[in-house]
Amino acid sequence: MDKDALKKIISHSKEYGFIFPSSEIYEGLNAIYDYAHNGVLLKNNIREYWWKSMIQLNENIVGIDSAIFMHPKTWVASGHVDAFNDPLIDNKDSKKRYRADVLIEEYIEKLNSKVQKEISKAEKRFKEKFDKKQFTETNPRVLEITKSIEDVKGKMILAFENDDLPAVKKLIDDLEIKCPISGTCNWTEVRQFNLMFNTKLGASEDSSMDLYLRPETAQGIFLNYLSIQKTSRMKIPFGIAQTGKAFRNEIVARQFIFRMREFEQMEMQFFIQPGTQEDCFNQWKKKRLDWHLNLGIKPNSFRYHDHDKLAHYADAACDIEFLFPFGFRELEGIHSRTDFDLKSHEKLSGKKIQYFDPVLDKNYTPYVVETSIGLDRMFLAILSNSLKNEILKDGSSRTVMSIPRPLAPNKLAFLPLLKKDGLPEYTRKIMRDFIHDINIVYDEKDAIGRRYRRQDAIGTPYCITIDHQTIEDDTFTIRDRDSMEQRRIKLSELKTIVDSELILKSLLKKLDN
Ligand code: GAP
């Protein structure tokens, strides 16, 4: 993998109007970003693909847009006040702050790479005769490193399970983990750090109320689930979907928009009869992976990661991981959340929020299977998959963003060959046939080749060139972003291409088949 790939994505995003660092004239704000024109178009398209695939394609899923501020007891009941913590540690020399668990995981990752190196060396030496299984089970060096990995993992899991922060610190000391900046092991104690941002509601000191900015959108769904079920006349099983901002005061916010402090989630809670959660969980695991694969991204860019260590609310959990430029990382989570949240809210609020099941003729607290994906993280997955630098047959190169066509910020670019002879006027007239359905661009500046390159760089699937012949017979040249092939077509044909390839409907139809 190109080790500069992430850097290229960041600079390309800035240069071509996708993403800017926030408040840049004041030196920016760490891990906060603004979306520029092309960025917001792409982001809206991803959100719409998710929303419509949930709401339009499933008659038993309905929507909600709940407030970001919620009663503070919400977060007591959900467990976020007590347990939404990361263990942090500071290096006294560099004054840099780290997540203690991440420092240990990175140490384990280094040991894993050592094993991989030994395997690669042996593979080269033994060539076709190489038996990987036998080698990893018998090579003394590999066995020694594997034992260290298991040992460190075991100690780490035990320390976190017992909430034993001094044991976490001791492990970091014993492993002599160094700060990457100062190179020293001069660490503070490990302490828990709650990731929720707080603020106040109300003007006066006495009457104001401490509030949190929501760290997930899911709780807005839980608090409203019964009213939504009744007003939408839903019967179990049914789902409620929501997209919206969430906020986390991440200790280590790196890797561009992968881990942000203000980000957007797309979450769906599926309410089911207790006892049916295993089937439901497996169905949503498959459905969500199908949603990703439907975009035409290579299947080996995704993998499932089933969790061994479960969050306080879950009886099963799985991540869909994506191959980002920095390796496989969580893109989406599917969680079987049991009845934990609803029961906790019922207990703390003292309000009965049980569902009456007309089929079983009884009340119960539903179980919940959740699918939760970060919109910004999905955006980064699309950018990582799309941005390419290609060497062409004539030796020149081009930068192209092969964004899945129905998600592209602009679907068509209209380019009059010349700025005269009525070509611009004619172009604008044709464009009127498309502006109600799709986003399009008009560009008359520079030579046609440069204009093609500009559109390649922002992922526009087709360029339409209007020349003198167009005025005579209503045909024009259409150039494909990916193959760069050009052909002459009629206006009616372009409309068919838009309908079959470029609008979201084409993607939703494929998913529904
Ligand atoms: N309601 C469950 C929940 O919030 P999560 O695994 O903490 O679960 C779900 O988050 C998804 O939200 C993640 O898979 C990721 O895509 C996204 N996400 C979480 N933290 C994020 C952050 N700091 N920046 C960007 N996206 C984030």
CB 342 within 8 A of CB 353: yes
CB 135 within 8 A of CB 122: yes
CB 439 within 8 A of CB 41: yes
Exposure of 277 in the CB half-sphere (CA atoms within 13 A):
19
23: left (phi over 0), alpha (psi -120 to 50) or beta: left
Full set of structural domains in the chain with CATH? 1-74+195-391 (3.30.930.10), 85-193 (3.30.40.230), 393-512 (3.40.50.800)
Q: From ligand 1's centre to the CA of 266, what distance in Å?
A: 9
Beta-bridged to residue 69, according to DSSP, are 213
Kindly give the number of the ligand 1 atom that is closest to the alpha carbon of 215: 4
Q: Which among 249, 330, 371 is the best mutation to test ligand 1's pocket, defined by most ligand atoms within 8 Å of the CB?
A: 330
pLDDT value at position 251?
A: 84
Question: Which residue carries 């009744």 as its tokens?
Answer: 230
Kindly give the number of the ligand 1 atom that is closest to the alpha carbon of 319: 14
pLDDT at 367 over 90: yes
Q: From ligand 1's centre to the CA of 116, what distance in Å?
A: 30
Q: Which among 32, 213, 216, 256 is the best mutation to test ligand 1's pocket, defined by most ligand atoms within 8 Å of the CB?
A: 216
Nearest CA to ligand 1 atom 21: 259
Distances (CA, A) of 164 to 83, 155, 170: 14, 11, 10
Kindly give the number of the ligand 1 atom that is closest to the alpha carbon of 265: 12
Q: How far apart are CA 98 and CA 155, in angstroms?
A: 19
Q: From ligand 1's centre to the CA of 124, what distance in Å?
A: 40
Triad 109, 113, 117: Cα angle to 5° = 170
Between helices 504-512 and 37-55, what is the axis angle to 10°? 30
pLDDT at 71 over 90: yes
Q: Select, from the ranges 376-380, 393-397, 490-494, the one with the highest average predicted confidence (pLDDT).
A: 376-380
Report residue 1's pLDDT band, with 50, 70 and 90 as the boundaries: low
20-34 residue pLDDT tens: 999 999 988 988 999
pLDDT value at position 389?
A: 95
Q: How far apart are CA 289 and CA 184, in angstroms?
A: 43
Report residue 434's pLDDT band, with 50, 70 and 90 as the boundaries: very high
CB 254 within 8 A of CB 410: no
441-462 residue pLDDT tens: 999 999 999 999 999 999 999 9
Report residue 171's pLDDT band, with 50, 70 and 90 as the boundaries: very high
Nearest CA to ligand 1 atom 4: 216
pLDDT at 327 over 70: yes
Kindly give the number of the ligand 1 atom that is closest to the alpha carbon of 259: 24
pLDDT at 184 over 80: yes
Kindly give the number of the ligand 1 atom that is closest to the alpha carbon of 216: 4
φ, ψ for residue 418, nearest 5 deg: -125, 160
Q: What is the mean pLDDT of residues 367-384?
A: 98
Kindly give the number of the ligand 1 atom that is closest to the alpha carbon of 260: 24
Mean confidence (pLDDT) of the chain: 94
406-427 residue pLDDT tens: 999 999 999 999 999 999 999 9
Distances (CA, A) of 440 to 37, 417, 467, 484, 490: 13, 17, 18, 19, 18
pLDDT at 162 over 90: no
Report residue 77's pLDDT band, with 50, 70 and 90 as the boundaries: very high
pLDDT at 489 over 90: yes
Q: What is the mean pLDDT of residues 295-316?
A: 90
φ, ψ for residue 291, nearest 5 deg: -60, -40
- Torsional sign, CA 232, 236, 241, 242: positive
Q: Which among 195, 251, 372, 373 is the best mutation to test ligand 1's pocket, defined by most ligand atoms within 8 Å of the CB?
A: 372
Q: From ligand 1's centre to the CA of 210, what distance in Å?
A: 24
Q: Kind and range of the H or E element at 508? A: helix 504-512
Distances (CA, A) of 353 to 201, 343, 347, 348, 456: 27, 8, 10, 11, 53
CB 411 within 8 A of CB 439: yes
pLDDT value at position 114?
A: 93
Pocket of ligand 1 (CB under 6 A): 216, 218, 248, 250, 259-260, 263, 265, 267, 330-333, 370, 372-374, 376-377
Nearest CA to ligand 1 atom 10: 372
Q: What is the mean pLDDT of residues 479-496?
A: 96
If one compares 308 and 246, the residue with the highest pLDDT of the two is: 246
pLDDT value at position 8?
A: 96
Q: How far apart are CA 485 and CA 463, in angstroms?
A: 11
Q: What is the mean pLDDT of residues 114-128?
A: 91
Nearest CA to ligand 1 atom 18: 374
Q: From ligand 1's centre to the CA of 268, what distance in Å?
A: 13
Q: How far apart are CA 270 and CA 177, in angstroms?
A: 43
Q: From ligand 1's centre to the CA of 408, what distance in Å?
A: 24
Beta-carbon contacts of residue 262 (< 8 Å; ≥ 6 apart): 32, 245, 246, 247
Please classify residue 294 by burial: count the beta carbons closer than 10 Å to its beta carbon, then call 0-12 exposed, 13-18 middle and 19+ buried. Answer: middle
Helix (H/G/I), strand (E/B), else coil: 463: strand
Triad 32, 9, 50: Cα angle to 5° = 70
pLDDT value at position 204?
A: 73
Q: How far apart are CA 390 and CA 394, in angstroms?
A: 11
Q: From ligand 1's centre to the CA of 263, what distance in Å?
A: 9
pLDDT value at position 152?
A: 94
Question: Which residue carries 């464009």 as its tokens?
Answer: 431
Q: From ligand 1's centre to the CA of 265, what distance in Å?
A: 7
Q: From ligand 1's centre to the CA of 428, what distance in Å?
A: 43
CB 216 within 8 A of CB 246: yes
Kindly give the number of the ligand 1 atom that is closest to the alpha carbon of 261: 23
Q: How far apart are CA 5 and CA 110, in angstroms?
A: 21
227-276 residue pLDDT tens: 999 999 999 999 999 999 999 999 877 789 999 999 999 999 999 999 99
Contacts 24+ apart (CB under 8 A), 433-441: 433/491, 433/495, 434/498, 437/498, 437/503, 438/410, 438/411, 438/412, 438/498, 438/502, 438/503, 439/41, 439/409, 439/410, 439/411, 440/410, 440/411, 440/412, 440/413, 440/414, 441/410, 441/412, 441/413, 441/414
Q: How far is C-alpha 315 from the geometric centre of its chain's CA atoms?
A: 23
Report residue 66's pLDDT band, with 50, 70 and 90 as the boundaries: very high
Q: From ligand 1's centre to the CA of 139, what distance in Å?
A: 40
